[in-house]
Homo-oligomer: A and B are copies of this chain.
Amino acid sequence: MINAKAKGSKGERDLVKAFNEAGWGCIRIAGSGSSRYPSPDILAGNAIRRLAIECKVTAETKKYFDVDQVEQLREFSTKFGAEAWFAVKFPKEDWYFFMIEDLDQAGISFSASTSSASYKGLRFTELIQKDKLS
């Protein structure tokens, strides 16, 4: 039985591997949850794009984000010069990637679900080819 934190770390390492195998530079950030400055979980970049990604592994079919997490990701991404993305790993699914604008919002609560993912989430291969899609 591995705990939620270990599952999260393994998830992040899998993503770092996927980006590197796709030819991007990608790193995990030290103490991203506890730093005095806002920071995402991973950063990925290539010659054209930089992505700041907050990663969530969940055992549910819906994942909530508090407004602080959303604001900190937005703040870091603006300062650093990166696109802001949430990555969510739902049970038995590959990672889905969401822009902040594509999270479901109700008051100050943000969320993504397996149903919203199917029409607003991007798969990894879509994420890294986004420049070709847009």
A: residues with CB less than 8 A from B are: 16-17, 20, 23-32, 35, 37, 39, 43-50, 76-82
With a cutoff of 8 Å between Cβ atoms, the chain B residues found around residue A27 in the complex are: 29-30, 32, 35, 37, 39, 43
With a cutoff of 8 Å between Cβ atoms, the chain B residues found around residue A50 in the complex are: 45, 50, 80-81
With a cutoff of 8 Å between Cβ atoms, the chain B residues found around residue A79 in the complex are: 23-25, 45-46
How many identical chains are in the complex?
A: 2
| Interface secondary structure of A, over-half rule | mixed
Q: Do the beta carbons of A81 and B30 come within 8 Å of each other?
A: no
Assess A46 versus B81: contact at CB under 8 Å? Given A27-B29, A27-B32. yes
A12 CA to B31 CA, complexed, in Å: 13
